[in-house]
Amino acid sequence: MDDGTSQVESIVGAGWSGGIDAALADRATAALEAGSVLRLPLPFVLEPGETRIVRDHVLAGHRKNVSLGPRAQNVKGAVEDAGLRRVLASACGRYQRQTAELAQRLFPAYLAALEIGRTSFRPAEVAGRVQQSPRKDDTRLHIDAFPATPVHGRRVLRFFTNVNPDGVARHWQVGEPFEQLAATFLPRVPRYSMAVALALAALRVTKSVRSEYDHCMRHIHDIMKCDTAYQRAAARQDVHFAAGETWIVFSDQVVHAVLSGRCMFEQTIYLPVTAQRFPVRSPLRVLERLTGRALA
Ligand code: SIN
Ligand code: FE
């Protein structure tokens, strides 16, 4: 990649429903797997009864977002207001269904393998937020690797839609290709211990036993966020996602940071590496090449 950062690929002609040209789907899948951010002019329109979620105070305590599990009826992270919670659940549920349908049509190669994860609504302004710890600070360049939810090598595919009511863009930065990142940070990852992984699961720190892949990814996430020299100097490209735009990324692969913006929906979808067209580009295969052994 010319400037040393991930690319942004414009995808026009894909809606929440209707046909998608096979050539477009092909280009989208190839770009996604190459580590590009797909950008679509595709708004998520709130129904008249739902617009209060972008105006009212919806977050409980110090929560950053409201979320809905893939089979859940109720949202987490919202204030105690039954009416508001119903509206949040219905908007998140619709976002979940629409993104799942779009994923099936835009990436037909993945069809049977897509596993729907959580949906979130992120109403809070990112800029100026008090950060409790660098590891939780998403204004720093990072890859997504969940502390409590091991993925065992599966890909993290994320859909985002900016629903800012004042037409304000969400400001992201995207960084270097994963292969480059991994070569820099993998040597700094501490040795994996199965005994520690079992203990973390027994203590319910993790929801299942962390694989060596999850261990490496989480440590790369933490080490890069805490490396102030890297954060200052790493190559990056600013990307502004307008209100009414949707973007799709493998967020375990694309180095990213969010600098500002409020009101966005996000959908997480998991995908086995073997369902990819080019599994060699996956973080799992890249890390396995570098370590010379199976990691998940
Ligand atoms: C992240 O995954 O880093 C957060 C993205 C965002 O909230 O825009
Ligand atoms: Fe992230």
Q: How many domains does the chain have?
A: 1
Residue with CA closest to ligand 1 atom 6: 258
Helix axes 212-226, 178-185, angle to 10 degrees: 90
Whose C-alpha lies nearest to ligand 1, atom 7?
258
How far is 73 from 270, CA to CA, in rounded Å? 20
DSSP state of 190: P
Say if 214 falls within a structural domain: no
The reply to whether 212 falls in a domain is no
Q: Which among 119, 120, 122 is the best mutation to test ligand 1's pocket, defined by most ligand atoms within 8 Å of the CB?
A: 122
Residues 255-273 have pLDDT tens digits of 999 999 999 999 999 999 9
Q: What pLDDT is attached to residue 132?
A: 81
Domain membership of residue 280 (yes or no) is yes
Q: How many whole angstroms separate alpha carbon 230 and alpha carbon 186?
A: 14
Q: Is residue 45 part of a domain?
A: yes
Residues with CB under 5 A from ligand 2 (ion): 144
- Distance between CA atoms of residues 119 and 67, nearest Å: 5
Q: What backbone phi and psi angles, to 5 degrees, belong to 170?
A: -100, 125
In a domain, 215, yes or no: no
190 is a domain residue:
no
pTM: 0.97
Kindly report, residue by residue over 18-45, the tens digit of the pLDDT. 999 999 999 999 999 999 999 999 999 9
Tokens of 218: 């989480």
Q: Is residue 295 part of a domain?
A: no
Average pLDDT in the chain: 96
Q: Does 209 fall in a domain?
A: no
What is the strand order of the sheet 170-174 is part of?
237-241, 170-174, 256-260
d(CA 271, CA 36): 17
Q: What is the CATH number of the domain that holds 30?
A: 2.60.120
Supply the range of the domain harboring residue 164: 8-146+153-174+239-288
Closest ligand 1 atom to the C-alpha of 142? 3
**CB 231 within 8 Å of CB 143:** no
Residue type, 115: E
CA distance 4 to 237: 9
Tens digit of each residue's pLDDT (9 = 90 or more) over 194-250: 999 999 999 999 999 999 999 999 999 999 999 999 999 999 999 999 999 999 999
- What per-residue confidence (pLDDT) applies to 1? 46
